[in-house]
Structure 1
Amino acid sequence: MAARKVVITCAVTGSIHTPTMSPYLPVTPDEIAEQAIAAAEAGAAILHLHARDPADGRPSPDADVFMQFLPRIRQATDAVVNITTGGSSAMTLDERLAAPLRAEPEMCSLNMGSMNFGLFPLVDRYPEWKHAWEPRLLENTRDTIFKNTFKDIEGILERLGKGCGARFEFECYDVGHLYTLAHFRDRGLVQGPLFIQFVLGVLGGIGPDPENLIHMKGIADRLFGADYQFSVLGAGRHQMPLVTLSAILGGHVRVGLEDSLTLGRSGLARSNAEQVTKIRGILEALSLEVATPADARAMLALKGGDRVAF
C-alpha cells in the first residue's frame, strides 16, 4: 500500500509578526524570494505569500512589491504560489485584492468570516521596538474588526475564482466559518475539491486545543464528506503539535514564519526552510510521503503554474 501524500504549505512572512520579534523574518523582496525558494527546496509544495514595505517591514498590499518577488519564485521553483486576500485587518478589501488580481495565481487564501483578530497582547512582550509602527499596528487590533462579510466573500469568489481561475485555501478560524463555506457550496459558488485550512490559536478564533481540531474535522466531514482536503495552521508555540496531529488525522500541514517564529523549544527558527525541514522529518517518521507540487495540483484541481500572470 502506497504511503499517503501530505502537502506542506509554507507561509513565508505574513502580517502578524514584526521585525523586532525576529531577525530572521523576511522583509525585503529579496529576502522573501530567497526564503520562499529555500522552503520549496526543503519540501513545501505550496508557498503562501504576503508582501512587506522594504523600508521598514510593515505589511504592504502594493502589487508592485509582490511583483518584485513573484517572478523570481516562479522561475526558481515549481511550487504552487498562494497569494493572500487577507492582507491585514488594517487594509481595505480593494488593497487586499490588488496583488492577487494582478498576479492571477493558482491559489489564494480566503478568510471565511469577519472576526476579532487580537494581536495586542504581543505589545507587552517587547520593551523596545525597531519601528514606531509595530506597537501601533498591534495595539490597534484591540478595536479593529477583520472584515470578511458575505458580500466581500462573494466578490472574491467572482473576481478571483471565476475571473482569474484561482482556487482557494479557505481559512476557517472557527466552526461557524465551516457553515459559511457550506452556504457558498450550496449556492454553487464554490465546488470541490475544497481545501480548508483549520486555523487554531488566534485570539478571537477557536483555541489551540487538540479537541477543537478534532471537532472541526468532524463538522467538516459531515458538511463536505469526501469532497474536501484539510490542512492545519497552529499559531505560535502550538504550530508543530497541531500540524503533526493534522497529519495523523489524515490532513495536510502548514508551517512558516507567518504562523510561528520558533522551532519548538530550541528557540527562533533561522528560516522558513528550517520549519519545513522539521515537519518533513516528522511526516517521514510517521511513514507519510511529502507531496510534490504536481501532487498538490492534482489533489486540489489547480489550473497550473503556466496560467498565472507573473
Structure 2
Amino acid sequence: MNFETIVTCAVTGAGDTVGKSPHIPVTPQQIADAAIEAAKAGAAIAHIHVRDPETGKGSRDVELFKEAVDLVRASDTDVVINLTAGMGGDWVPSEDDPALPGPGTDMIGPEDRLAHIKACLPEICSLDCGTLNFGNGEEIYISTPPTLRRMAQLTQDWGVKPELEVFDLGHIRFAKAMIEEGLIDAPPMFQLCLGIPWGADQTVETMAAMKAQLPPGASWASFGISRMQMPMAAAAVALGGNVRVGLEDNIWLDRGVPATNGQLVARVTEIIERMGGRALTPQEARDQLNLRGANA
C-alpha cells in the first residue's frame, strides 16, 4: 500500500477526443488552465500534450508547448510539468506500397522528438520505451533502441527526468537495460500504461506482473483508460504505486457525465484518502523523484 501517493493528471493527450467532450482543452491557454485546475484539485504533476488550435489534433509545435508551459509557470499555482515526448513515431503504411509511408505517418529522429523538451526544459518528459501496434488500424508507434538511447542521453544531459512509459513487459526489459547502461538516473520513474490497444491489458494481475519486473528502488505509477481509470488507480495505490488520471485517458466522471480534469483528480484523491493515504504536494513529489526543481 502506498500511503503517500503522487497524482499525475494527463490533461489532454493527442487522441480523437475533441468533440466527444466539451471539456477537452485545445489551445495553449486552455491546456495551461487545465494543468492549473488539476494542481488546485490535488495533482502534483501535469502531463501535457498540445493540440493544433485550428484542428484540435495533436501537435508537436515547439511554440505551442512553450506558450502552454510559460502560462503554467507564470501562474501562482505550483505543479511539476511533465511534457510528452511521444510525438513523431507514427508509421502508417501506404495502401499502394507498404514499404512507403501513407497518410498519417509522422516519423522523425530523436533530436526532433525532443525539440520542445530542449526549448522548455520541463522537470519530467515521457519516454515511450518500445514499439507498439496502436489500435485496430494500420498505425504502428515506433521507438527503436538507438532512438530511445539517444533520447535518454539527451534528457540526462539536460537534467530532465524521463518518465519511462511501458506498455508491455518487453518495454520494461529494455528500460532496465538503459538503467544498467547508466542512461537513466536514480530513481528510475516508470509509468505502467494499461488498456491501450494493443499493449498490456488493464487488470490487477497484469499490473502486479509488470510491477514485479521493475528494478529495485524504482518509482512507479499506473493508469487504466475509460471506465477502468479509477479501478486501476485504486489498484496502483494498493500495490504500492502512484496514479495517473485525466482527460487523456478517460473523458467520463460517471456514466453519461463528462468529466473535467479537476473532477477526476478530486475523485482519485478521495479514493486515496478513503484508502488511508494522502496525495503528495508538488514539492514532495520533487523530493521523492529527485527532480532538479522548477527553477533550476
- What TM-score, normalized by structure 1, do the two folds share? 0.86
Please name the residue that 2:169 is paired with. 175
| Pairing of 1:216-227 with structure 2 (within 5 A) | 216-220=210-214, 224-225=215-216, 227=217
What CA RMSD, in Å, does the superposition of the two structures yield over aligned residues?
Answer: 1.4
Please, which of 103, 119, 129 is the counterpart of residue 102 of structure 1?
119
Please name the residue that 2:39 is paired with. 40
Distance 1:242 1:91 in 2: 31
For the Cα contact (< 8 Å) 2:15–2:57, is it kept in 1? no
Please name the residue that 1:78 is paired with. 78
1:160 alignment partner, SS class: helix
Question: Cα offset for 1:67?
Answer: 1.6
Please, which of 265, 277, 291 is the counterpart of residue 266 of structure 2?
277
Distance 2:293 2:36 in 1: 18
Please name the residue that 2:231 is paired with. 241
Distance 2:238 2:275 in 1: 8
Please, which of 91, 107, 126 is the counterpart of residue 92 of structure 1?
107
Distance 2:117 2:162 in 1: 12
Structure 2 unaligned regions, length at least 5: 91-104
User: Does the alignment pair 1:286 with 2:286?
Assistant: no
2:56 alignment partner, SS class: coil
Please, which of 104, 113, 132 is the counterpart of residue 115 of structure 1?
132
Please name the residue that 1:129 is paired with. none
Distance 1:41 1:215 in 2: 33
Question: Cα offset for 1:161?
Answer: 1.9
Distance 2:256 2:243 in 1: 20
Please name the residue that 2:286 is paired with. 297
1:19 alignment partner, SS class: coil
Distance 1:217 1:237 in 2: 22
User: Does the alignment pair 1:268 with 2:250?
Assistant: no
User: Does the alignment pair 1:215 with 2:222?
Assistant: no
Please name the residue that 1:125 is paired with. none
Question: Cα offset for 1:191?
Answer: 2.7
User: Does the alignment pair 1:63 with 2:62?
Assistant: yes
Please name the residue that 2:149 is paired with. 154
For the Cα contact (< 8 Å) 2:130–2:144, is it kept in 1? yes
Distance 1:81 1:178 in 2: 24
For the Cα contact (< 8 Å) 1:6–1:291, is it kept in 2? yes
1:273 alignment partner, SS class: helix
Please name the residue that 2:200 is paired with. 206
For the Cα contact (< 8 Å) 1:83–1:107, is it kept in 2? yes
Question: Cα offset for 1:237?
Answer: 1.5
Question: Cα offset for 1:266?
Answer: 5.4
For the Cα contact (< 8 Å) 1:200–1:207, is it kept in 2? yes
Question: Stretches of 4+ moved more than 6 A in 1?
Answer: none
For the Cα contact (< 8 Å) 1:4–1:289, is it kept in 2? yes
For the Cα contact (< 8 Å) 2:126–2:164, is it kept in 1? yes
Please name the residue that 1:131 is paired with. none
Distance 2:254 2:189 in 1: 26
For the Cα contact (< 8 Å) 1:107–1:167, is it kept in 2? yes
Question: Cα offset for 1:185?
Answer: 1.3
For the Cα contact (< 8 Å) 1:7–1:291, is it kept in 2? yes
Structure 1 unaligned regions, length at least 5: 121-141
Distance 2:60 2:225 in 1: 23
What are the Cα deviations for residues 73-102 of structure 1, in whole angstroms up to 9, with x where unaligned? Answer: 112222110011102634333453221121
Question: Cα offset for 1:214?
Answer: 1.1
For the Cα contact (< 8 Å) 2:155–2:162, is it kept in 1? no
For the Cα contact (< 8 Å) 2:162–2:184, is it kept in 1? no
The letter of the residue matching 2:190 is I
Please name the residue that 2:30 is paired with. 31
Equivalent residue pairs, number: 277
Identity %: 36
For the Cα contact (< 8 Å) 2:156–2:183, is it kept in 1? no
1:263 alignment partner, SS class: strand
2:190 alignment partner, SS class: strand
For the Cα contact (< 8 Å) 1:80–1:293, is it kept in 2? yes
The letter of the residue matching 1:155 is R
What are the Cα deviations for residues 256-293 of structure 1, in whole angstroms up to 9, with x where unaligned? Answer: 10011111435221x11110000011111111011001
